[in-house]
Amino acid sequence: MALTKVDIVEKVTAQLNFSKKESTDLVESFISIIKQTLASGEDVKISGFGSFEVKQKRDRRGRNPQTGETITIESRRVISFKTSAKLKTAINADQP
């Protein structure tokens, strides 16, 4: 099961005693700021959580699986996520 945006809004509402609209606006604004920052090519680092990095991939050769034809996959930007040491520790603390 995955945590959805709706679940996050509900948790913010419960923990901070905000109205549902205030919580929704807060979560939407937070996500929007992260999206805009990454779209501009900047990295996002959240202490105790991790960092989102924008990386540039080069052109590369690929193959069309239907025809077997060789194609060029054009360069593109991708986002990678690296967890912080604190998050890794928290995730692995519950392991047997």
Residue 36: which pLDDT band, with cuts at 50, 70 and 90? very high
pLDDT recorded at residue 2: 93
At 5-22, the pLDDT tens digits run 999 999 999 999 999 999
H/E stretch holding 82: strand 76-83
At 54-74, the pLDDT tens digits run 999 999 999 999 999 999 999
Q: Give the chain's domains with CATH numbers.
A: 5-86 (4.10.520.10)
Amino acid type, 72: T
SS (H, E, C) 17-80: CCCHHHHHHHHHHHHHHHHHHHHCCCCEEECCCEEEEEEEECCEEEECCCCCCEEEECCEEEEE
pTM, two decimals, is 0.78
What angle (nearest 5°) sits at the alpha carbon of residue 94, between those of residues 9 and 89? 80
